Amino acid sequence: MPTFPRPPRCGWRSGSSLTTEAALDVPSVPGATRLELLRLILLQRLFEERTLTLYRQGRIPGSVYNGRGQEAVAAAAGLALGPDDVVAPLNRELACHFARGVTVAHAFRNFLGKATGPTFGRDGNMHFGVPERGVFPLVSMLGNLCPVVVGAALAFKRRGEARVALTFLGEGAFSVGDVHEGLGLAGVWQVPAVFVIQSNGWSYSTPVERQMVNTNIAERIEGGWSIPARRVDGTDALAVYAAVRAAVTRARAGEGPQAVEALSLRMHGHAAHDDARYVDRSLREDYERTRDPVRRLQERLRLDGVPEAKLEAVRRAAEEEVAAGLAEAEAAPAPDPATLEDGVYAHPVRRDDAGSAVREPLGSGRCRG
């Protein structure tokens, strides 16, 4: 009878501080990866600045959310995955979609509610997935997707495939039961799942101290679930990349679930309507000045000896990609209300004249786009 290995025992540790760069093997992150991280972070930053403007102009319905200040986590975790891995990004991780090869135009089509977007106009803003890119569609009930990635990882383990499933979790989601159940299952089953915790300090307007007693989530994951967890500076793209890359490598090698807690600040309100007045102004100004992930990575690349012209070229290319993607998305058709009921089921049920069940041929229930 096959058995699963027992999880390693971990002692409780307290007073963890940020893991140092040297321990994270940052020096080995290749130059090309560094530039790609910059490109992805800039894409998310510029894309979200654009969507905020479009929203205020009334050109995007509903609302928009953004991950200002957290883009490094999204980009680094997305880039740390292999091509056959799967991921469930959340609200503040557009760069992860881009890292998976989702185009800017495709993302814009979702924000604009277009028929050919990833949700066919049925869901808005960053509420989308792209199954053909291994990206599961976000749901708003944060925490729901934690056990979902554990199940995907369980399937990979069952089939002996060297693939990894990753999801992000805000620190706010650590008050949700699904997360506790998902982490429990990941530990018991020892599956190749990686959890990236976006500790941005606030769950909407509620500070972390009012959400939990022990705010060191890495410590809780390691102490409570015996899942190895590292804490990194989430505004340092290279540190996050090195930490998640190492976690993905360990998970892929059969060492069971892994976690990385990335500390940052949500440098914007929860959504477009929220001015984040509950965050101390001096803290935000200090973050803008010293911990803006875009600026930090640019400075790092300058220290690496990347010429200014190259950095400027990366920014210009990102600007052009966002502008071209928006133009392409705006030209896409709006959804036809007549198609509203298409695709509720992969296999719609109906009867033929003789009263027998008729099955739609495989694939016909699939939505266009």
Partner 1 sequence: MPEGTYLDAVHAALRDALREDERVFLLGEDIGAFGGAFGATRGLLEEFGAERVLDTPIAEEGFVGAAIGAAWVGERPVVELQFADFVSCPFDAIVTVAAKTHWRSGLRLPLVIRAPSGGGIRGGPFHASSPEGWFVGTAGLKVVCPGTVEDAYGLLRAAVEDDDPVLVFEHKRLYRSLRAELPGGDHRTPIGVARVVQAGTDATVVTYGGGVPIALEATAELAAGVEVLDLRTVWPLDEEAILESVGRTSRLLVLQEASRSGGVAGHVLSLVARRGFELLDAPPALHAPPDTPVPFAPELEDAYLPSAASLRVALGELLDY
Q: Please give the residue ranges that form the binding site for partner 1 (CB under 8 A).
A: 1-4, 86, 118-120, 122-123, 127-131, 136-137, 139, 141, 144-156, 158, 165, 177-178, 181-182, 184-185, 188, 343-347, 349-351, 355-357, 362, 365-367, 369
Q: Residue 302 in contact with residue 30, Cβ under 8 Å? A: no
DSSP annotation of 273: T
Rounded CA gap, 94 and 34, in Å? 18
Q: b/e string for 301-331 if b means 16 or more Cβ within 10 A? A: beeeebeeeebeebbeebeebbeebbeebee
Identify each DSSP E strand in the chain by its residue range: 86-88, 165-170, 193-199, 202-203, 206-207, 229-233, 258-263, 349-351, 357-359
**Minimum distance, C-beta of residue 233 to partner 1, in the bound complex (Å):** 30
- Cβ 149 to partner 1 shortest distance, Å: 6
- Nearest distance from C-beta of residue 22 to partner 1, angstroms: 36
- In the bound state with partner 1, the residue whose beta carbon lies nearer, of 130 and 297, is 130
CA torsion angle 291 229 130 91 (round to 10) = -40
CB of 126 to partner 1, least distance (A): 13
Which is closer to partner 1, CB of 106 or CB of 296? 106
Question: Which residue, 280 or 353, is less far from partner 1 as judged by CB?
Answer: 353
Q: What is the Cα gyration radius of the chain?
A: 21
| CB-nearer residue toward partner 1: 181 or 328 | 181
Beta carbon nearer to partner 1, 120 or 287: 120
CA distance 20 to 130: 35
Sign of the CA dihedral running 125, 130, 131, 134: negative
Shortest Å, Cβ 93 to partner 1? 17
Residue (1 or 32) nearer to partner 1, CB: 1
Q: How far apart are CA 236 and CA 44, in angstroms?
A: 16
Q: Minimum Å distance from CB 285 to partner 1?
A: 38
State the Cα–Cα distance between residues 280 and 84, nearest whole angstrom.
Answer: 42
Return the number of the residue (55 or 156) whose C-beta is nearest partner 1: 156
Min dist CB 228 to partner 1, Å, is 20
Residue 48 φ/ψ, nearest 5 degrees: -75, -30
